[in-house]
Amino acid sequence: MKLYCLSGHPTLPCNVLKFKSTTIMLDCGLDTTSVLNFLPLPLVHSPRLSKLPGWISKDGTINLEKRELLDLSTIDVILISNYHCMMALPYITEHTGFTGTVYATEPTLQIGRLLMEEVVNFMERVPKAQSATCWKNKEIQRMLPGPLKDSVDVWTWKRCYSMHEVNSALSKVQLVGYSQKVELFGAVQVSPLSSGYSLGSSNWIIQSHHEKVSYVSGSSLLTTHPQPMDQSSLKNSDVLILTGLTQMPTANPDGMLGEFCSNLAMTIRAGGNVLVPCYSSGVIYDLLECLYQFIESASLGTTPFYFISPVANSSLEFSQIFAEWLCHNKQTKVYLPEPPFPHAELIQTNKLKHYPSIHGDFSSEFRQPCVVFTGHPSLRFGDVVHFMELWGKSSLNTIIFTEPDFSYLDALAPYQPLAMKCVYCPIDTRLNFHQVSKLLKEVQPLHVVCPEQYTQPPLTQSHRSDLMLELQPPPMPYRRCSVLNLPFRRRYERVYILPELANSLVPSEIKPGVSVATVSAVVHSKDNKHTLQSVPKPPPVAPSKKRKRVMDEPPVVLAPKPLLSGAVPLEAFLATLQKHGITEVKVEETADGHILHLQAEDTLIQLEEDGTHIVCDNNEPLRTTLRDLVLRFLQKL
C-alpha cells in the first residue's frame, strides 16, 4: 500500500492512496496563495493600480499543486472531504483522461459548485486585454523582480477553469450520505463520516475486511452549525492519515468571534464602514448567526448588512435545506418548522441584503455606514477589490479578516499606503493540536501519517513544542511529492464458502475448542469477491470396450491427501493389529522408536515419533489395511 502526496499544503491536501489494486485520490485542494503575486483585478479601471511600478498587471492564474508523480488517468475514484478541498477538481477530471467517479456529500457538491461558480464569475467578468505566458519560462522568470523570481514551479500555475469545465467535472460526482458504505470494485469499501467542520464535510474510512485506513481532513470538535464529528467510527484504524488541522493554532475561534463583533460595532458607531472579505459559504453562516444575536444588544438594528457575491442568494438558500447535515439544535428547528439558520429572519426583516455584485440594484440601495461581506479573501479579485479602493483611504473604515487562508499583510500589499484600520480575527474551527492528540488517544490508530509541518513547531514559534504532534510511534511525515510505503502487511482475505460445500466439510477437534477440516474447493473470483464451491464430480467414465485397460490409466487425483499429525502409540497399535488377525509381531526397540516385524507377512513397520514407514512387498491388500490402521491414530490436516 502506497501513499503519493501531491500537495504540500497541509490544509489543502491532495493524496493518492493505492490500496488493493484501487487508486483512490483523497481530496484535491487548490492552493491559491500564488494569486498574491498578481495585481488585484479592479472592477473599474484604477489608474493607481495600473501605474504601480515593476508589476505586470496580469491576473487570474492559479497555482495547481500537482506534479507528474503518477498518471492522473489511472485514478479510480476521488473522495472529497469538504467543499474547500475540491477546488482543483476540474484540473484533474478534465483533459487528463480521468474516467473515474468522484464521491462527495450533497452539501459538499452544491456548495462546492457555488464556490467554483463564484471564482469563475469573478475572473470572467473582468476580461483581460491580453495575457502572457512567456514569463513562466525559466530563463525569463529569473530576470523578473521581487518574489516572483523566487516562486517555485511557476510553470505549474494554470489559468482559471471555465464554467463549462466546472459543470463537466461536477457531473462526475456521485452523491453519498454519512455512514453509507460504497463498494469499490468489490475490493475496498469507502464510507464518509461526519467531520463537524462544514456543511456536509466528511472524513473517510477506506477499508477491506482486514485493513482499515482513516482519512481525517478538516475536522472540528467545536459546536458550530454542522453535524458533530463522528469519532468512534475512526477506531481500530491501521493507518490514520491526518490533514487539515487548524491554521491558527494559537487563535481561539470564540475569542476571535468576540473581537470581530466588538471591532465591527466600534467602527459602525464611529460612523465608519466595515469590510469583511470572506468566502460565500462556511464561517459566514456563523458570523451572521453571531451578529443576529449581537445586533440588538449593540444597537446596530438600523445598520445595513450587505452580502455581495454572485452566489450570495444561492448560498443563503442552500444553507437552509440541508437539515439532515446540521447539528441537533438546528435539526429540531426544522421540525417546528422554522428555517435552521437565523439569517432567514435577518433577510426577512431587511437587516441583511444580498446582491450578486456591486452593479445593478446594489448601487442604488447602498447606504453608509454599513457592513459588507464579500469575496475573494485574497483581495485580488471579486467585489472586495472595489471596496478596498473605495474605503481604503479613510481611517474611519475597518477591514476585518476572518478567513485564515491568506496572509493578510501580503493581501494588503498592493493597496498600501492604507488609512483604513485592519483587524485580523482569523476564525479556524478545525482541530488544534491539543484536540487532535486527545482524539488520537481515543481512537488509537496503529500508525499516523501527516504533513511534515505537523511534526515540528511552526517556524515563527519554534519554542512552542505544544504546537506539534507528539506520538508514539512517531507519525510518518510526508511532504509534497513524497511517496510513502504504508506499514501494512495484508495476510488474510475474505472468501465465502457456498452452503453446499460448507455442509460437506467434516470438522474434527484437534484441541479443546479448535477444530479443523480439510477443504478442497474450486475458487471462483468475480469482481474481487472470492467464493469457494465444491469440486464438481468428474463425469462418470462411460463403460467402454477398453474396460480391461482401466488399470493402466493413471488415477485421477481429485484432492491431495491431507498432511498428518500426531504419533502412533505402540501398545494401542499392537492391540489393533491383533484385532485384525495379525498376531505374530516381533517388536524391536531402536533409538528413535520401534520396528515391528510382522513375521507371517514378512512386513516391516517402523514406528517413530514423527514418522511411520511401512515396508511391504507384493501384498497390496495388506498394505492398504496397515495404512488405514495407522491413519486411525493420526490427525489429518
Q: Which of residues 283-322 bind another protein (CB under 8 A)?
A: 313-314, 317-318, 320-322
The Cα-based distances of 393 to 225, 272, 351, 366, 396 in angstroms read 36, 12, 27, 19, 9
Name which of 141, 143, 159, 160 is nearest 151 in CA terms.
141
Residue position matching grid coordinates 491427501? 561
Q: How far from the centroid of its chain's Cα atoms is residue 22's Cα?
A: 14
Cα end-to-end distance, the chain, whole Å:
33
Residue closer to another protein, measured from CB, 180 or 236: 180
Interface residue with another protein among 139, 150, 296, 552 (CB under 8 A) is 552
Interface residue with another protein among 36, 126, 564, 595 (CB under 8 A) is 564
In the complex, least distance from residue 519 CB atom to another protein, rounded to whole angstroms: 5
Output the CA torsion sign for 393, 399, 403, 406.
Answer: positive
Residue closer to another protein, measured from CB, 54 or 538: 538
Residue closer to another protein, measured from CB, 470 or 610: 610
In the complex, least distance from residue 341 CB atom to another protein, rounded to whole angstroms: 11
Lay out the site mask for another protein across 438-477 (x = CB under 8 A, - = otherwise): ----------------------------------------
- What are residue 419's phi and psi, to 5 degrees? -90, -25
570 in Cβ contact with 607 (< 8 Å): yes
218 in Cβ contact with 432 (< 8 Å): no
In the complex, least distance from residue 416 CB atom to another protein, rounded to whole angstroms: 39
- The yes or no reply on residue 396 touching another protein (CB under 8 A) is no
Lay out the site mask for another protein across 503-532 (x = CB under 8 A, - = otherwise): --x-x--xx-xxxxxxxxxxx-x----xxx
399 in Cβ contact with 422 (< 8 Å): yes
Q: Which helix (H) or strand (E) holds 622?
A: helix 620-632
Span from 164-172, 350-358, 445-453, 609-617 in contact with another protein (CB under 8 A): 609-617
228 in Cβ contact with 194 (< 8 Å): yes
Residue closer to another protein, measured from CB, 132 or 615: 615
Name which of 329, 258, 333 is nearest 290 in CA terms.
258
In the complex, least distance from residue 380 CB atom to another protein, rounded to whole angstroms: 28
Residue closer to another protein, measured from CB, 159 or 209: 209
Residue closer to another protein, measured from CB, 299 or 619: 619
Residue position matching grid coordinates 469545465? 165
The Cα-based distances of 399 to 370, 588, 623 in angstroms read 12, 103, 99
Residue closer to another protein, measured from CB, 81 or 191: 191
333-392: contacts with another protein (CB under 8 A)? 334-335, 337-340
- The yes or no reply on residue 180 touching another protein (CB under 8 A) is yes
53-112: contacts with another protein (CB under 8 A)? 106
610-629: contacts with another protein (CB under 8 A)? 610-618, 620, 623-624, 627
In the complex, least distance from residue 498 CB atom to another protein, rounded to whole angstroms: 5
Q: How far apart are CA 609 and CA 632, in angstroms?
A: 16
**369: cis peptide before it, omega within 30°?**
yes
The Cα-based distances of 208 to 180, 238, 302, 494, 620 in angstroms read 15, 11, 58, 9, 52
- The yes or no reply on residue 395 touching another protein (CB under 8 A) is no
Residue closer to another protein, measured from CB, 115 or 268: 115
In the complex, least distance from residue 41 CB atom to another protein, rounded to whole angstroms: 26
In the complex, least distance from residue 598 CB atom to another protein, rounded to whole angstroms: 14
Q: How far apart are CA 567 and CA 588, in angstroms?
A: 18
Residue closer to another protein, measured from CB, 43 or 568: 568
Name which of 441, 279, 252, 292 is nearest 375 in CA terms.
279
The Cα-based distances of 173 to 77, 83, 102, 120, 390 in angstroms read 10, 13, 4, 19, 41
Size of the site for another protein (CB under 8 A): 93
Residue closer to another protein, measured from CB, 51 or 549: 549
Residue closer to another protein, measured from CB, 133 or 624: 624
The 3 state secondary structure assigned to 148-198 is HHHCCCHHHEEECCCHHHHHHHHCCEEEECCCCCEEECCCEEEEEEECCCC
In the complex, least distance from residue 326 CB atom to another protein, rounded to whole angstroms: 10
474-503: contacts with another protein (CB under 8 A)? 490-499, 502
In the complex, least distance from residue 501 CB atom to another protein, rounded to whole angstroms: 9
Name which of 619, 590, 577, 587 is nearest 602 in CA terms.
619
Residue closer to another protein, measured from CB, 409 or 541: 541
Interface residue with another protein among 396, 482, 562, 574 (CB under 8 A) is 562
For 236, the 3-state DSSP assignment is coil
- The yes or no reply on residue 331 touching another protein (CB under 8 A) is yes
In the complex, least distance from residue 177 CB atom to another protein, rounded to whole angstroms: 4
DSSP 325: G
Residue closer to another protein, measured from CB, 330 or 430: 330
Q: Which helix (H) or strand (E) holds 110?
A: helix 106-124
- The yes or no reply on residue 591 touching another protein (CB under 8 A) is no
194-233: contacts with another protein (CB under 8 A)? 209-210
In the complex, least distance from residue 506 CB atom to another protein, rounded to whole angstroms: 10
In the complex, least distance from residue 505 CB atom to another protein, rounded to whole angstroms: 7
In the complex, least distance from residue 552 CB atom to another protein, rounded to whole angstroms: 6
Residue closer to another protein, measured from CB, 481 or 532: 532
Span from 69-77, 245-253, 392-400, 549-557 in contact with another protein (CB under 8 A): 549-557
In the complex, least distance from residue 555 CB atom to another protein, rounded to whole angstroms: 4
Q: How far apart are CA 70 and CA 342, in angstroms?
A: 47
